[in-house]
Amino acid sequence: MAASREPEFVSADGWPRDLQAFAMASLFWGGFILVRAIFALRAGAPAVPFEDVFLGVKFYADQARVTMALQAIIFVTFAIGILLHRRWGLVLALLYLAQVIAGHVIFIASNLGVESQRIHVKIASVEGPVVLLIALYVAYRAVPLLRVHSD
């Protein structure tokens, strides 16, 4: 008689542990960018203004702080939702990742010929496929949890 066991990578309630690890990473990342937005920590030279890209549009100074804080709040919200095993957390994560992918496409398309944005376009071109892979992975792991069972 074979004993039926749940796979080790799935918690007792059926949520994949790697999805929960994604949520923890998202929670820490959201906290980091929230702190960065609040304190406007700069990675570059003091002459470089604080900047952020949201929905494919580049923002500077206080507007960038607001958009970065908004994105941090979204990260923290969907991370908490996933950690609490709520479907809305998965939906919010997938919507946000879709926005990031669309934002990369919009940013690249609108800045392709702009010489001053060349390095940022290159960075977005490298980030785009990585974000797409993350989104596909999250979608793959989330689909079984988002299906409505009519039992």
Instruction: List pLDDT tens digits, range 53-72.
Output: 898 898 998 899 999 999 99
In sequence order, what are the beta bridge partners of 58? 53
Cα dist from 38 to 24, 50, 56, 62, 113, whole Å: 21, 11, 22, 10, 33
Q: What is the pTM for the complete model shown?
A: 0.83
Alpha-carbon gap, residue 81 to 102, rounded angstroms: 23
> What are the sequence ranges of the domains in the chain?
17-40+48-144
Ranges in the chain, pLDDT < 50? 1-6, 151
